[in-house]
Amino acid sequence: MVILLTELQLVIDKLLTSLPRRRTDNAIIIRAQDSNDAKARVFKLNANPVEPILLEREGGYERQYRFVCPRCTLPVAYQTTPPPPKSSPFLYIFPGSLTQAQGQVPSDAFDLDIASGQATEQVTA
C-alpha cells in the first residue's frame, strides 16, 4: 500500500520534468555540486537521512544514502556519499516519489520497487 502525503519535500530552481533521468533506475538527477562544465542546481531538500543500503547493480554494487519524508518515512531521494544532502555531486529523486502539484499522484508513482531499486511493470486496471 502506498500512501502519498502533501508534505513539502523539495524546493528547486527548475521543473522536475526538465531534469535528466538516471539510466539504471530512472531517478531524476539533480546536480548538487558545481563541476568544470555545469553549475549546481539551487535546491533545498526537506527529508531525513536513514541508514544506507547496498544494492546489486549490473557490474557491481551501489551504496545508497537515502532520505525519507520526515512525516511518513517513505523514501524520497538518495545520493552515493554520506549525508548531508549536497555532499555528493548528484542527488537522485526516486521516480514517482514527488509531484509538482499538491494532491496529485505522480504518473510514475507505481513504476519502481524502491526497496530493490528496480523498475517494475506498470499494471493498469
Model pLDDT for residues 69-110, shown as the tens digit of each residue: 998 898 999 999 999 999 999 999 999 888 766 666 666 665
- Residue 96 φ/ψ region, left for φ over 0, alpha for ψ in the -120 to 50 degree band, beta for the rest: left
Cα(73)–Cα(22) distance, rounded to whole angstroms? 23
Query: What integer best gives the mean pLDDT of the chain?
Result: 83
pLDDT tens string 106-124: 666 656 555 555 444 333 3
> Which grid cell is 104?
496529485
So where are the chain's domains?
10-95
Digit-coded pLDDT (tens) for 3-30: 345 678 888 999 888 999 999 999 999 9
Q: Is 26 helix (H, G, I), strand (E, B) or coil?
A: coil
Q: What is the pTM of this model?
A: 0.79
Output the nine-digit C-alpha cell for 13: 530552481
pLDDT at 121: 35
pLDDT of residue 56 exceeding 90? yes
The confidence score (pLDDT) of residue 111 equals: 62
Residue-level pLDDT at 99: 75
| Segment among 37-41, 65-69, 71-75 with least mean pLDDT | 71-75
Provide the β-strand partners of residue 29: 92
Query: What's the pLDDT score for residue 23?
Result: 94
Exposure of 37 in the CB half-sphere (CA atoms within 13 A): 0
Angle (nearest 5°) at CA 85 between 92 and 75: 50
